[in-house]
């Protein structure tokens, strides 16, 4: 007699607001208590993300499995440089190897060939589709927020009433690696203010070719040193903060204006 393999139910918690709110929402509703929670850990996430993941683990009273690459970011960078014979090969929106090797590959290994139902925190007020599994794979995505009409305000309410809003939202609009190239210039300034050591580490990855003068930078066209020198100019362009609203409300407004929303990967910051 052949025994059919049980369907696995998984939910990725990125450290961002939507996936966290989804995990809480499903738990409160008592939907699929056997969900396997996972966190794709690049090893270079913001410290606030790790704190938030611990908080979520305590609230859910369940393990959040940490999945990651066997190699560090530095090792991957060296491999990319060698493979493509570049002077430097920092990931960027058009050379997005970081997501592939540090998140998608570990996730695919975790799912294997199992039949998987994957819960995705895309809201009813979003158009994005999220991570799409390979054709013919056994992954079925489900979108409870879309089905139940849950929108951004609901997500913030769910978090406020439970684990709170992740601390990094005070200065950055999404989770992910501390050096993520999707962050805005004012967020780089935020990184410098909140984590000067990490800003310095990000600077150390940049290079200028001494012969050609070509810059290999996180932000197109300028090094982080140059960006920091323009701090006042960059911050002057930030929308004015309204002192009558809390930082959480200010952030909700800020996310509304997020120019990178369509580019940033759901797998990284959902
Ligand atoms: S958060 Fe940014 S740097 Fe990190 S894997 Fe995702 S896209 Fe790459």
pLDDT tens, position by position, 154-196: 999 999 999 999 999 989 988 899 999 999 999 999 999 999 9
**Measured from the CA of 174, which atom of ligand 1 is nearest?**
1
CA pair distance 72, 63, nearest whole angstrom: 23
* Res 267 pLDDT > 90: no
Q: What is the pLDDT of residue 266?
A: 59
Best residue for ligand 1 mutational test, from 15, 41, 42 (most atoms within 8 Å of Cβ): 42
Best residue for ligand 1 mutational test, from 44, 90, 94, 103 (most atoms within 8 Å of Cβ): 103
Beta-sheet strand order (sheet of 8-12)? 64-67, 36-40, 8-12, 116-119, 139-142
Q: How confident is the model at residue 89 (pLDDT cuts 50, 70, 90)?
A: confident
CA pair distance 180, 173, nearest whole angstrom: 12
Distance 98 CA to ligand 1 centre (A): 6
CA pair distance 170, 195, nearest whole angstrom: 13
Q: What is the pLDDT of residue 213?
A: 85
* Res 45 pLDDT > 50: yes
CA pair distance 51, 102, nearest whole angstrom: 20
Which CATH class, in words, describes the domain spanning 8-166? alpha beta
CB 182 within 8 Å of CB 176 = yes
CB 182 within 8 Å of CB 213 = no
Which residue, 97, 189, 45, is CA-closest to 88? Answer: 97
Q: What is the pLDDT of residue 70?
A: 93
Distance 121 CA to ligand 1 centre (A): 18
Q: What is the mean pLDDT of residues 210-228?
A: 92
Distance 3 CA to ligand 1 centre (A): 40
Q: Atom 3 of ligand 1 has which residue's CA nearest to it? A: 180
Q: What is the mean pLDDT of residues 20-42?
A: 93
How far from chain centre, in Å, is Cα 29? 25
The string of pLDDT tens digits covering residues 244-265 is 555 555 555 554 444 344 445 5
Q: What is the pLDDT of residue 258?
A: 42
Q: What is the pLDDT of residue 246?
A: 55
């Amino acid at each position: 007699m052949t025994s059919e393999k049980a369907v696995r139910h998984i939910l990725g918690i990125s450290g961002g607001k939507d996936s966290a709110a989804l995990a809480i929402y499903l738990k409160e509703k008592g939907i699929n208590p056997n969900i396997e929670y996972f966190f794709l850990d690049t090893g270079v996430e913001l410290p606030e993300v790790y704190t938030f993941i611990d908080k979520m683990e305590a609230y859910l009273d369940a393990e959040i499995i940490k999945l990651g690459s066997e190699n560090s970011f530095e090792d991957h960078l060296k491999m990319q440089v060698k493979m493509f014979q570049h002077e430097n090969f920092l990931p960027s929106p058009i050379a997005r190897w970081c997501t592939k090797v540090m998140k998608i590959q570990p996730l695919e290994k975790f799912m294997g060939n199992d039949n998987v139902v994957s819960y995705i925190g895309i809201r009813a007020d979003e158009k994005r589709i999220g991570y799409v599994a390979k054709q013919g794979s056994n992954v079925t995505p489900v979108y409870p927020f879309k089905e139940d009409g849950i929108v951004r305000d609901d997500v913030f309410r769910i978090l406020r009433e439970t684990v709170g809003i992740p601390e990094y939202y005070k200065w950055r609009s999404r989770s992910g690696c501390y050096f993520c190239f999707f962050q805005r210039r004012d967020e780089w300034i935020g990184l410098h203010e909140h984590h000067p050591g990490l800003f310095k580490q990000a600077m150390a990855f940049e290079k200028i070719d001494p012969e050609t003068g070509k810059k290999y930078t996180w932000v197109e066209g300028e090094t982080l040193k140059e960006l920091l020198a323009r701090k006042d100019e960059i911050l002057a362009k930030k929308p004015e903060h309204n002192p009558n609203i809390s930082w959480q409300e200010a952030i909700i407004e800020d996310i509304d204006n997020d120019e990178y929303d369509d580019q940033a990967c759901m797998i990284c910051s959902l």
